[in-house]
Amino acid sequence: MTTSELKSVLKAGGSSIGTMISAFDTPEISRILKNCGFEWFFYDAEHGYPNVDRLYSIFAYARMCGIVGLLRIPQINKTEIFRAMDMGVDGIICPDMKNANEARELIHLSKYAPLGDRGVSMTRPHTGYAKVNTAEYMKDANQKTIMIVQMESLEGISNLDDILSVEGIDGVLVGPNDLSHSMGIPGQFDNPAFLQAVNRVISICKAHKKFVGFPNKNMETLMQWKKRGVQLLQWGSDVSILMSYAKSQLQK
C-alpha cells in the first residue's frame, strides 16, 4: 500500500490496520510487518530510543517493499521534523496535540511551500537519490505525506475543531493511556467519561471528514472500535504481539 492508496481508502470511509514499532529496530522489521499483512506502521520515537542510522534503513525498506511507514516524533521542532521528512517517512504522528497553533507549526515544518516552509534538499533518502523535478516533487510530496495528530488530553479535544481546520492535518490517533491519565482515570477505558471523550473525537473527525485512529492489543476490542467509526486501526505493537503469542503458546 502506498500513502496515496491509504489516504484514498480512509477518505472513502474504509479502514486500514497497522501496528507500532517500539523495540525491534532491525531494518527487516518493515518487510516482516508487510509480509504479515499490515498496511502501515509507525515507529515510536517519543518513548523509544531510536538509532538514527537504523531509522533510515527501516524507512528505506518500507519504501522498497510497499508498506506505509510513519514516525511518531517526540516533539514539534525543526530538527526532528526536517530529519524525519528527509529520511523518507511517509508521514508524522504528533503526540499530545493541544491547539491549532501547534498544528500550524507541524504543517509549517513538514510541508513544502506554499503550504509550509520545509527545507528543500533533494539528494536525500526521501527522493531515493533520484534526479527529480523539484517543483513537481514538492507538490506531490505535499499531497502524499500524512500528518496525524494525537488526542491525549481534554484540552486537545476541546480545541479539535480548530486543529482539524488547519490545512494539511489528515486525521487523529487517540492516545488512550495518556488521555485517561489526563482525565484522572488512568487505564479506565470503559469509564463512561472516557468513552464520551473518544466518541466526541470520532464525531468531530466525522464532521471535518477526517479519519480517526485507535490502538488496542485485543483484536476483538479493536473491531468494536471500528464499528464505532474508527478507521485507522492500530493493533498493539511489536512487543505486545510477541509477548501475547509467546505467553499463549507457552501456557499450552
Distance, CA of 35 to CA of 181 (rounded, Å): 35
* pLDDT given for residue 187 in this prediction: 95
* pLDDT given for residue 38 in this prediction: 98
Rounded mean pLDDT of 148-176? 98
Residues linked to residue 68 through DSSP beta bridges, in sequence order: 40
Distance, CA of 175 to CA of 148 (rounded, Å): 12
* pLDDT given for residue 155 in this prediction: 98
Give per-residue pLDDT as tens, 72-89: 999 999 999 999 999 999
Residues linked to residue 70 through DSSP beta bridges, in sequence order: 42, 91
DSSP secondary structure letters along 136-197: HHHHHHHHH-EEEEEE-SHHHHHTHHHHHTSTT--EEEE-HHHHHHHTT-TT-TT-HHHHHH
Distance, CA of 163 to CA of 237 (rounded, Å): 27
Of the listed ranges 131-135, 153-157, 158-162, 172-176, the one predicted with least confidence: 131-135
**Between vectors from CA 109 to CA 163 and to CA 8, what angle results, nearest 5°?**
60
Contact by Cβ (8 Å): 112, 120: yes
Domains of the chain by residue range: 3-251
Alpha-carbon torsion, ordered 86, 146, 72, 232, to 10 deg: -150
Give per-residue pLDDT as tens, 34-65: 999 999 999 999 998 778 888 999 999 999 99
* pLDDT given for residue 5 in this prediction: 96
Q: Is the peptide bond before 176 cis (omega within 30 degrees of 0)?
A: no
* pLDDT given for residue 102 in this prediction: 98
Residue 15: DSSP 8-state: -
Residue 125: DSSP 8-state: G
Distance, CA of 107 to CA of 94 (rounded, Å): 11
Distance, CA of 180 to CA of 195 (rounded, Å): 10
pLDDT interval class at 128 (50, 70, 90): confident
In CATH terms, the fold of domain 3-251 is TIM Barrel (3.20.20)
* pLDDT given for residue 223 in this prediction: 97
Phi first, then psi: give them for residue 232, nearest 5 degrees.
Answer: -90, 105
Query: In which region does residue 96 sit, left (phi positive, over 0), alpha (psi from -120 to 50) or beta (all else)?
Result: left
* pLDDT given for residue 238 in this prediction: 96
* pLDDT given for residue 51 in this prediction: 80
Rounded mean pLDDT of 177-190? 97
- Between strands 171-174 and 211-216, the pairing is parallel
Rounded mean pLDDT of 206-212? 97
Of the listed ranges 49-58, 144-153, 192-201, the one predicted with least confidence: 49-58
Collapsed DSSP state (helix, strand, coil) of residue 158: helix
Residue 66: DSSP 8-state: T
Give per-residue pLDDT as tens, 225-244: 999 999 999 999 999 999 99
Distance, CA of 134 to CA of 95 (rounded, Å): 30
Distance, CA of 143 to CA of 252 (rounded, Å): 49
Give the three cell numbers for residue 184: 484522572
